[in-house]
Every structure is written in structure tokens, then in C-alpha cells.
Chains A and B, each alone.
Chain A
Amino acid sequence: MPSTRTSAQETAIAAVDLRKTYPGGRGRPPVPALDGLSFAVPAGTVFALLGPNGAGKSTTARILTTLSRADAGTAHVAGIDVARDPERVRRTIGYVAQKPVTDPLDTGRENLVLAGRLQGLGARTARTRAAELLDRFALADAADRLVRTYSGGMARKLDVAMGIVHSPRVLFLDEPTTGLDPEARAGMWAEIERMTAVESMTVLLTTHYLDEADRLAANVAIVDRGRVVVAGTPDALKDELRGDGIVVELAAPAPAAGSAGPPGELVPDAGPALADRVTDAVRACSGVREVHLRGRTLRARAESGAAALPAVLAALDAAGVPVASATLARPSLDDVYLRRTGRTFAAAQSDAPGSSAGDDTEATAAGVAA
């Protein structure tokens, strides 16, 4: 397939119509895990597969890393067909599984050196690289302690370091922060951001944290029941919800200072004329719609809040209305998920028992009703 080869420079990972069904076992029906899943990851970017447990994210990661085989469909990593040439794929990738990938009875340094040597680094190179990574992940002090004495956050950082010991072109991070406390998660995010900048590699991240995908990934594919329901940049996905919320608090007009009414009342001394003038002025700004004024709070939606806000402020200024504060409320990926799948993320999450690789995609109608 020459077309895939030529596009390999730009596309680091290409999955086309992947299908996989797990046998049900003991009289139960087979469990579909992937149902025609497709996506493409541009080289050198971070791509997130976002979805609840059982959506098929881990199954996808396992197929792309040669641990599992798809029933149908094709997948290329760095231009290499994962089904036809798994050995070459393995020399190209790093994989950090959901479960810890380190050996608890070895020290951090021993773990890294062994991983490097198994990847083909020489003894000295492996030791140098291990020391460098221990430094970079702030594990130097714990380098010669057994991993079983590490905290959850430290062990996970070591897991990620294990995945990049050989500077792979493509790194798979399967739920890197699941089970970490918020502080450790924030630390891990910072590490991943720094790492992707330094190593300039392609990263496929699976996560069921919306904020994680939002923060780390250039592109997101929302996965539900074994398919990609929507893909794009986090911002584009959110813009698709017809924009940001703009909230402007108007300052009290000078003569009426102190006599401000509670929210829900119109500006008491402004009169309907002023209110109309304000809303008309804001409506006239391009890209702004759904303008409402209640009390001194003006709400509107815009395709891109950041782009529209200066115009809104200028319009208010021109109308002679002073502004106390202005805020933008970005729609979250949660909103996107709700709109695309008809159920909230939290409901989908609680539908899926267990967190093992794609073992359940039987979402119930209860999620839709939620």
C-alpha cells in the first residue's frame, strides 16, 4: 500500500476500521470491544483517546502495541503495519501499560538500565540514560531504593521513564494518571508536557479524565462503545458547542451607587432604554449571540470567547456603560461528550463495570436518560 508509506512522514499512527470482539465465555454472548474504530495521529503531537471505561481505548492501545490482534481493520505505527511486521513496530515504540511496568524487587536504576539494555542500548549508554531520566523525573534520590518502597506518584513517574528509556518515536501512555491523587496527577501532567517537548515524539494517550485530554493533547478522539464519535482539537470540539459563555458584570452607574438591586432585577435606575441600548450594542458584535441582561449581569455566547470579548468590551464602552468584570466560561469536553453520546460522562463511567481492557461496552439506556 504505497499511499500509507508516503503519508508516513506526517501520520505517526493510523487506525482504520478496527474491529475486535472478545469471546463471552460460559454461555454469555461475545463482547464487542471495537466496532470500526478509526483515527489518525499527526507525527510529533500528543493525541488523546478519551472515553469511559470499557469504551475500547485500552483494546486499541493493545492492538497498536502488538499485544493483541484486531479481528478486522488495519493499523500502522510509524508507517509499519502492526499485524504484518510486529517486530519492527516493537523497535519503534514505547508502551506504558495501565498497570505498573516496573519490577518492585529491583531499584529504580536497575529497572531503567534493564529496560534500556533490552531495547538494545549498550551497558554504558543504558546507565547514562537511566541517570539522565532519574534526574529529569526527580527520582535521583530514590534511584537506588527498591521500587516497592516508592509512593504511587513516584512509581508512575518511573513507569513513564521506562517507556522512553530508548527514545521511541511513538509512545503509548495507557491511563498514565489513573489512581493518582490530584497533586501527583498535576505533577505527572507537568512531566508529560516537558517530556513531549524534549523528546519530540508522538504520544498516544488514553484517558478517562476530560481535563487530562484537554490539558495535554493537541487532538482528541472521543471513543464510545468501540467507535470514535468525534475527533478534533479540544478547542474545536468545544467551539462546536456554539461557543463560550461570556459573562460581563456591569459597574453601577455613578448616580445610583449603593442602590443596586439584587440579581434578577433590571438595573434599577437605568430604565428599559439603557438595557436595550446595551444588549443591542453587544448583539452587533460579530460572532456574539444569545445576549441576555439580567440585573447587572450580561450573558452571551460566542464562537470563540477570547476573540469576541474585546469587541464586546469596546461596544459597552462606546455605549457608555462601565464594566466591573468580564469572564469567559469555556464549555468542557464533558459537554461535548454529552452532546455526542447522549449521556453524561459520569453516567457512562458508572455503566461500565471494571476497568480492564475493553471488557465491557454494554452501555444501557439508563445512561441516555441521565
Chain B
Amino acid sequence: MTAVVHTGLLTARALRQGARIPVFLVMNLVQPMIWLLLFGQLFRSVVEIPGFSAAGSYLEFITPGVVMMTAMFGAAWAGTAFVQDMDRGVMDRFLTSPTSRGALVASTMVYQAVVAVGQALVVLAVAWLCGARFGSTPAETALGVLALLLAVVLLTALFSALSNATALLTGQQEALIGISQLVTLPLMFLSSAVMDTRLSADWVADVARYNPFDWAVVAGREALAASPDWGVVWGRLGLLALAALVVGRLATLAFRTRQRSA
């Protein structure tokens, strides 16, 4: 109960501060649109390659990919808030108080999820305006969008936790740059986000099967398909949830490691 209240209080703090930097808000919304339009134009004709599995346009193919890219790239920086709190004495104040450690981690996940869901809705709207269509009936579309958003939340939780654990263990913003350059970028390319893996080297397809980012892309794309295979969607969502729980737990344990080395 305390953990829930604390998560609420700390999430409210993050949202309040996010809103105080309007530039952030604008950047957060403009960036996914740039991804969508840039990739959409750049690779427009790949759908014409024989063997490309997508039924519709390339824009329809990459929309879930861009949604997940935006979510993962954003979440990879979640630890920045911890680094800033550690640079000041704010983290020490939290840690010497009964503030729930789980809530410290969870609040950054919730905050990132709120931002990512907002971005996802913007991407979907822009894609729709550019002619992309998802699902076959309005009810199916709504259900598909909800499943996609759930994938966004879980993916965000996973990478926020990873970023938080790194921040807690290193205390350095530089380490977070490492995560975004060495982890998330390769994960993005080793997936079906912008390219059908059936057209890539076999090993890429093999790696993608174990890539949590690809789980989210596949779940989102399948959920938005004309006739979704819900087994695929729920299977991937389940894997994502499991991964997020494990890494989230590790991030909470990182507080203890920090105390031992402090």
C-alpha cells in the first residue's frame, strides 16, 4: 500500500517536472513523427521485394516498429532522473527515509509509460492521416490499439528498469549513453521493426526471436493486423511482462548493492 502511494507521489513529481520543460514535450512528440516519416519514405519500396510478408503498405508495416522504437529509446534514458537525484542529495534523502525502493523504480516506469503511450497515440494518428489503416472493424482496431499500448507499457517498463539499474550501479550519465548506443540501437536493427527479418540473414531472424524489443514489435504489429493471431500477441506480451518483472526486481536490488559499496 505504501509502495503504491509512493509510486503515485513520485510519478506526479516526474510528470509535474516534465510539464515544466515544454521543450521536452515538443521534442517527445516531434521525434516519433520524424522516425515515422523518415523511415516511411526512405524504405517505401521494400514491401515490393519478393518474400516481404506484409500485406499492406510499408507505412502500415513500420508504424508498430516506430511506436516501439520511440518507447525503447525513451525508456533507455529513464535512469537520467536517478543520476540527477544522485548528483544532488535528493537520492540520499529518499534512501534515508522510509520511501519505498520499489516505488522509486516503479515511478520512473510509470512516468516513461505515460510519455510513451502519448507518443504511440501520436504516431498512430499521423500514420492514419498518411493513409495507414489497422484492423478490419472499429472494434478490432480498438482492441488492437489497446494490445499495442500494453506492449508499449511493458517494453517501457523493461528498459526503464535496465536504465535505472545501470544508473544506480554506476551513478554516471555516461553509462546511460552506453546503453542507448550499445544495447538499444543494435536491438532495434536486430528486429523486424523496419525490415521483415525473413529477408535478413538467418542469424538475424534467430537473434530477433530472443530480442525483447522484437517481441514488442511483433505483438504490436500482429494486434493491428487485419486478422490478428491473438496467440502470438499474448505469447509475446507474456514474455515481455516476465522480462520486465525480472529486470525491475534487479533494479530494486541495485539499491542494496549501492549501499554496500557506498
B96–A110 contact, CB under 8 A? no
Segment touching A, from B13-21, B68-76, B117-125: B13-21
A119–B262 contact, CB under 8 A? no
Q: Is A62 on the interface with B (CB-CB < 8 A)?
A: yes
A105–B20 contact, CB under 8 A? yes
Task: Report the interface size for chain B: residues with CB under 8 A from the other chain.
Answer: 24
The 4 closest A-B pairs by CB, nearest first: A97-B89, A99-B89, A95-B96, A101-B89
Q: Which of A88-135 contact B (CB under 8 A)?
A: 90-91, 93, 95-106, 110, 114-115, 117-120
**Minimum CB–CB distance for A58 against chain B, Å:** 11
A100–B94 contact, CB under 8 A? no
Query: Does more than half of chain A's interface fall in helix, strand or loop, or is it mixed?
Result: loop
Q: Is B259 on the interface with A (CB-CB < 8 A)?
A: yes
Task: Report the interface size for chain A: residues with CB under 8 A from the other chain.
Answer: 33
Q: Is B95 on the interface with A (CB-CB < 8 A)?
A: yes
Q: Is A343 on the interface with B (CB-CB < 8 A)?
A: no
Bound together, the chains give a CA A119 to CA B100 distance in angstroms of 10
For B260, the chain A residues whose CB sits under 8 A away are 69
**Minimum CB–CB distance for B24 against chain A, Å:** 11
Bound together, the chains give a CA A163 to CA B17 distance in angstroms of 22
A66–B259 contact, CB under 8 A? yes
Bound together, the chains give a CA A110 to CA B90 distance in angstroms of 14
A106–B89 contact, CB under 8 A? no
Bound together, the chains give a CA A103 to CA B9 distance in angstroms of 14
Contact A68 to B13, CB < 8 A, known contacts A90-B98, A102-B90: no
Bound together, the chains give a CA A118 to CA B90 distance in angstroms of 13
Q: Which of A76-94 contact B (CB under 8 A)?
A: 87, 90-91, 93
**Contact partner of A105 among B17, B95, B262, CB < 8 A?**
B17
Q: List 6 A-B contacts (CB under 8 A).
A: A67-B259, A90-B98, A99-B87, A103-B17, A105-B20, A118-B9
B96–A90 contact, CB under 8 A? yes
**Minimum CB–CB distance for A10 against chain B, Å:** 24
**Contact partner of A110 among B16, B21, B92, CB < 8 A?**
B16
Contacts A65-B92, A95-B92, A117-B9 aside, 6 further interface pairs with beta carbons under 8 A come to: A95-B96, A97-B92, A105-B20, A110-B13, A118-B97, A120-B98
For B99, the chain A residues whose CB sits under 8 A away are 118
Q: What sequence of 0s and 1s flags, for each residue 237-275 of chain A, a beta carbon within 8 Å of any chain B beta carbon?
A: 000000000000000000000000000000000000000
A67–B92 contact, CB under 8 A? yes
Bound together, the chains give a CA A90 to CA B97 distance in angstroms of 5
Bound together, the chains give a CA A115 to CA B90 distance in angstroms of 10
A162–B96 contact, CB under 8 A? no
**Minimum CB–CB distance for A22 against chain B, Å:** 9
B94–A118 contact, CB under 8 A? yes
For B236, the chain A residues whose CB sits under 8 A away are none
A114–B9 contact, CB under 8 A? yes
Central interface residue in B5, B9, B89, B94, by most chain A CB within 10 Å = B89
**Contact partner of A101 among B13, B20, B93, CB < 8 A?**
B93
Bound together, the chains give a CA A123 to CA B93 distance in angstroms of 20
Bound together, the chains give a CA A67 to CA B94 distance in angstroms of 10
**Minimum CB–CB distance for B5 against chain A, Å:** 8
A106–B259 contact, CB under 8 A? no
Bound together, the chains give a CA A99 to CA B13 distance in angstroms of 20
Q: Which of B65-112 contact A (CB under 8 A)?
A: 87-90, 92-99
Contact A99 to B88, CB < 8 A, known contacts A66-B96, A118-B98: yes
Bound together, the chains give a CA A105 to CA B12 distance in angstroms of 13
Closest residue of B by beta carbon distance from A162: B93
B88–A100 contact, CB under 8 A? yes
**Contact partner of B13 among A65, A103, A162, CB < 8 A?**
A103
B89–A119 contact, CB under 8 A? no
For A96, the chain B residues whose CB sits under 8 A away are 89
For A106, the chain B residues whose CB sits under 8 A away are 13, 16-17
**Contact partner of A66 among B16, B87, B95, CB < 8 A?**
B95
